[in-house]
A and B are shown apart, each in its own frame.
Chain A
């Protein structure tokens, strides 16, 4: 059991006991690495990555920062790209779980989706028209207002359970998965489709450039010469089910959601707490609820954005709390997909546990003496029954899920 962490003598969270595992019966994913989970896994295990300046939009910024766009994906005209990504991943996950609309209709199924832009009521063309004194077309705004990502998925599958769209910035996807697990555990629903979705557009691209945390070359998580993140886009969804539903439906568990923890830094809007106190609390809670001890942890899928601050803090915490456990960031293959990142990394984590191997930490070449530990450099076989997936976010949000082998 990891020690309960304290700051200033005050426990960050009350002591948690282990909770019942939740079955993961289906997974879906779309990102720059592939249009579905098997293709994405093949690509990242081959070490493929193709960051390039954006092709779907332009910018008059003099530097063309590389991004990871989901190529050859066209959203239907009636859906924002974020919700279309979410729906695409949900369809794959539902099919992977062997579910159909009739089976879903007989259950109380919830939807919990993380995003950063999926509920933002603004659109650049609309605003340009407004500022120019025109009467801009309201269609884009109406489309946003009827396309909350969780609602779109619930409508598509005719689901009657709770819906929630989580907006904890880059921790949204991880939080959505953890919250959906709690919904099932406490009986709010029988099963849930949970994950994250985010599109990459001009506003996000320019916003991150303005913060000066983007790398003008392919990102290098945990490398000594890392300069920042590359943005990406996509979605991932997981079908979660209670043990009762698993028994009744004949679904098989691909993996298990064993634990979840989250905590706030209470420190800064955009910078992580230097000592990683919030992340430490989140890991402690996730490990305690999972009932997993460090020797059982096969690997950690780190947040690993490639920004100097994130990687310094995260590696310090991993060094202290999970020493010697292999870790990597998969953002070198997908870019930072923001609200989708936690979900994409959760399905990668579950798939890696199934396969017993993890990809190389793309972009890492030179160890950073300030970090002191190094991520995996090659495709690496892993043993162990569980793995962690971590997210750190603007606002000081830290979230961690523990996934287990079926």
Chain B
């Protein structure tokens, strides 16, 4: 896709452990402190609280009446807040909303409602299972709430490919725009922390309870579970009124990645999230590349690659690389530029690796006039 068919990121809406909105993310990227909160859940040996990046959705009341929100669960609230922030950031006229296509990527979906439904039938019996929780537990519930609240009647899709959900869904977003199904796609990635996910993380990861993520230090497990939403308003360039950068490519597949090793002097943003096993894989794939990693600001979540894209978009718009907040480690076989260094190229790629040898790669480009 090139020339008039290019896709522009017109607006960004983010909410996560770092705060709410693109300015909070920008502040975090330039060095503001960003400490995790906690997630508590019960275990057989008592309640455990682990470090976790939680997202505050209270700003949603700026966009929707409290009465409307009363029956909407946390997962969908994350999506609604992210979507409204992206539309405001892009200054999209209300009249354009009905024409939007919506694509949501989520690794785990509405886990809070899934767990609440299971709890209702386990605690109260099959006949008393909660229909409200069941209806809200479907993966596309957030996409439905967003389309209802925005009046968006275009095509509507939800994708769940665990840690590759974002690059996978973006590939389809690009196609919708290339095929001219719609002029704009509101793309969003959402994952929530629930008691169930907290417990699963506690049992499946090394419970080191690190207080700080150091994803480029691959011999240690330092991942911190997180929740949040990152939305991008995507538009065909010929319909766009400008924005952060272009979305040039997004693909998923099985390793090896065609075109690797990555060419210098571009920048590769790694989705490494402090998980020991995947850290080694990132080190192998990114060997000798020029890399950055911002996951310590928003934590470990399947929706994380969308935050990587938001960071990359800010770099392309601003011109300088942000410092990698997890630190630089000698053993990591790549170059990590310091904060303020020039990008070195007109493109930034964001890499995500999954546990089974699959990858996702999304490339953003500088808008020529910038």
Contacts and interface: CB of A to CB of B under 8 A. Distances in A.
Do A and B actually bind? yes
Interface of A: 7-8, 10-14, 16, 19, 59-62, 108, 116, 119-122, 124, 127-128, 130-131, 133-135, 138, 141-142, 145-146, 148, 150-151, 154-155, 158-169, 175, 179, 182-183, 185-186, 188, 202-203, 206-212, 261-270, 277-278, 281, 285, 393-397
B99 A396 contact: no
A159 B252 CA distance: 11
Contact of A10 (B98, B123, B126, B156): B98
A266 B148 contact: yes
Given A59-B126, A127-B196, A154 B254 contact: yes
Interface stretch (B109-117, B270-278, B336-344): B109-117
Contacts of B171: 162, 164, 183, 188
B162 interface: yes
B148 A267 contact: yes
B88 interface: no
Nearest to B256: A160
B114 A120 contact: yes
B356 A188 contact: no
Interface string B242-274: 000000000111100000000000000000000
B130 interface: yes
A182 B179 contact: yes
Nearest to A61: B126
Nearest to A211: B131
A2 B134 CA distance: 37
B118 A127 contact: yes
B93 interface: no
A164 B180 contact: no
Given A120-B109, A206-B129, A266 B151 contact: yes
A17 to B, nearest CB: 8
A210 B130 contact: yes
Contacts of A396: 144, 147-148, 156
Contacts of A263: 153-156
B153 A122 contact: no
Contacts of A185: 179
Given A159-B254, A168-B140, A269-B145, 20 more contacts: A7-B98, A10-B95, A12-B154, A60-B127, A119-B160, A122-B196, A127-B122, A135-B203, A138-B200, A151-B358, A163-B168, A167-B140, A210-B134, A211-B134, A264-B156, A266-B98, A266-B148, A269-B144, A394-B141, A395-B156
A188 B251 contact: yes
Contact of A60 (B44, B125, B179, B253): B125
A193 B241 CA distance: 38
Nearest to B178: A186
Interface in B75-124: 95, 98-99, 102, 106, 108-109, 111, 114-115, 117-119, 121-123
B157 A262 contact: yes
A230 B191 CA distance: 32
5 contacts: A12-B153, A135-B44, A163-B168, A207-B134, A281-B153
B183 interface: yes
Contact of B168 (A159, A164, A203): A164
A340 to B, nearest CB: 15
Given A10-B99, A161-B253, A162-B252, A168 B157 contact: yes
Contacts of B106: 167
B175 interface: yes
A127 B42 contact: no
B70 to A, nearest CB: 14
B148 A160 contact: no
Contacts of B203: 135, 138, 141
A380 B99 CA distance: 40
Contacts of A165: 159-161, 168
Nearest to A8: B98
Given A12-B98, A154-B254, A203 B117 contact: yes
B118 A203 contact: yes
Contacts of B109: 119-121, 167
A163 B108 contact: no
A108 B258 CA distance: 12
Given A263-B156, A266-B147, A164 B172 contact: yes
A395 B140 contact: yes
Contacts of B169: 164
B159 A164 contact: yes
A161 B251 CA distance: 9
A264 B152 contact: yes
The 6 closest A-B CB pairs, nearest first, are A395-B144, A264-B156, A167-B139, A207-B134, A210-B131, A119-B160
B345 to A, nearest CB: 24
A148 B150 CA distance: 31
A122 B115 contact: yes
Contact of B129 (A127, A148, A163, A210): A210
